[in-house]
Structure 1
């Protein structure tokens, strides 16, 4: 009986050791755990605006077709990129939290209805995420605007999905370099207040209208509570020493295919 007990104990011990080894091996090879970046990350931020067919090719910096947008997203996934949001990037920069391998941030400016109708379902289906910088003074606008804007209700749906994060692009899209101190304060603080009130979230990223800013606007944005500020630039990616007040974006033009998009990112990454 004693020998049988020792034999059974040995079998159980071996089984436990094999199970623990297998679990440890899975942890090491699981991309969501092992394939992370803890420092020296180079993070491209891509900029889109409106999604539509049949646009003037001269407006390819603003428009992209639904089919080509999906091609861009699939190309990013196939190239091994992982979409993150600005909260993740901030935690990486300030708190040392690791990022997934080959992180990228997808952004949209202005808050057009096509973001809700086209980009949102595509991103959700592909398990990707993006940030939309909205104009709070034009929510739901359909008249007297070039293209319609989505509503607060639609913004809440996207925000609550976890796919989209809503942040500020000002209230009415003025050139912040040409405004009085009072107007700059209004644009920064009113948009932040409306986003936080209507979406029950913290608004802490500001994207400058036209990508234009000066030191005064940057200081006022920081005092208003924005942790990060972004512009355009169309050159370079964001590294550990990039100022959080001057995060760079690359325009994803609507006249380049997915392969060209990946090449553009590669050229801007390798150049820094």
Structure 2
């Protein structure tokens, strides 16, 4: 009940629809029972996406969300956003085929330090994901916690990764996910100066004073059944 009251009040203050945003990390081929908040098997990911599809969810993009937040553009009544952090190669080889099966567009937050390395996404894979309609966004160069290390190099962590991803995809890279979901006012200021449109965090409440750069997500456990996923969504977000 407490969560419901908080998010009803927050939704009223922000004056727009609160869209559930899911955050995935590593996806594995094996269903070995070792799944957690950072690991999910292809089988369970497929089951979760099947549930969303069967229950009428529409996967929206950050552009759609921000058009709604800032200009009142309409969204489907059961909108959801599906995001992925950390540039694992399985995002391309396992997640994208499942997303395509259900006509869902994913949002992939890339850390560029591991580009083209074994087990991580390559430039050609990132370009192909973008060409297929999935969204490529930034997750710093090397996953530095910007809130914990305020002396970080802005050019190295924020500016150059954006430019590199734009060169790879041939499109604008406008969105950012804070490593570990942690942020502070200086990081938001740096992102704005680097011409990002918005940023995504994790557990903290979205700030009414700067909602574009504090959009909430929830981490999805690989152990969740479809029913548990629904319960987590309903607990964390208010659906219309």
Question: Which band: TM-score by shorter chain?
Answer: 0.7 to 0.9
Distance in 2 between the 1:165 and 1:90 partners?
A: 14
Is 1:153 matched with 2:157? no
1:201 to 155, 162, 171: 171
Note the 1:59-98 alignment, pairs <5 A: 60-98=36-74
Q: Summarize the Cα distance change of 1:92–1:270 in structure 2 as closer, same or farther, 3 Å threshold.
A: closer
Quote the Cα distance in structure 2 between the aligned partners of 1:186 and 1:180.
Answer: 13
Q: Are positions 1:248 and 2:216 aligned together? A: yes
Counting helix residues as a fraction of each chain, which structure ranks higher?
Answer: 1
Aligned to 2:231, which of 231, 256, 263?
A: 263
User: Which consecutive unaligned segments of at least 5 residues does structure 1 have?
Assistant: 1-38, 143-147
Shift of 1:81: 1.2
Sort the Cα spacing of 1:98 and 1:270 in 2 relative to 1 into closer, same or farther, 3 A.
closer
Q: Please give the per-residue CA displacement for 1:233-253, whole angstroms capped at 9, x wherever unaligned.
A: 1x77x7998701100001111
Q: Shift in Å at residue 67 of structure 1?
A: 0.6
- Structure 1: how far apart are the matches of 2:18 and 2:178? 22
Are 1:192 and 2:192 an aligned pair? no
* Residues 176 and 184 in structure 1, CA contact (< 8 A), matched pair in contact too: no
1:239 and 1:76 map into 2 onto residues whose CA distance is: 28
Q: Against the structure 1 CA distance between its residues 88 and 270, is the aligned structure 2 distance closer, same or farther, given a 3 Å change threshold? A: closer
Please identify runs of 4+ aligned residues in structure 1 that moved more than 4 A. Answer: 238-242
Corresponding residue number in structure 2 for 1:232: 202
Aligned residues: 225
Q: Distance in 2 between matches of 1:246 and 1:114?
A: 27
Task: Compute the displacement of 1:96 (Å).
Answer: 2.4
User: Aligned-residue CA RMSD in angstroms?
Assistant: 2.3
For the 8 Å contact 1:40–1:239, the answer to whether it is kept is: no
How many angstroms does 1:91 deviate by? Answer: 1.4
Offset at 1:270?
A: 4.3
Conserved 8 A contact 1:204-1:225? yes
CA shift, 1:76, in A, is 1.0
Q: Which has the higher contact order (CA 8 A, sep 6+)?
A: 2
The residue correspondences of 1:99-138 to structure 2 (distance < 5 A) are: 99-138=75-114
Report the Cα distance in structure 2 between the residues aligned to 1:268 and 1:212, rounded to whole angstroms. 18
Query: How far is the alpha carbon of 1:79 from its aligned partner?
Result: 2.1
- TM-score, with normalisation over the residues of structure 1? 0.77
Q: Give the structure 2 partner of residue 211 of structure 1.
A: 181
Match of 1:31 in 2: none
Does structure 1 conserve the Cα–Cα contact (< 8 Å) formed by 2:178 and 2:199?
Answer: yes
3-state SS, counterpart of residue 17 of structure 2: coil
TM-score, normalization by structure 2 = 0.87
Give how far 1:97 is off. 1.8
Larger Rg: 1
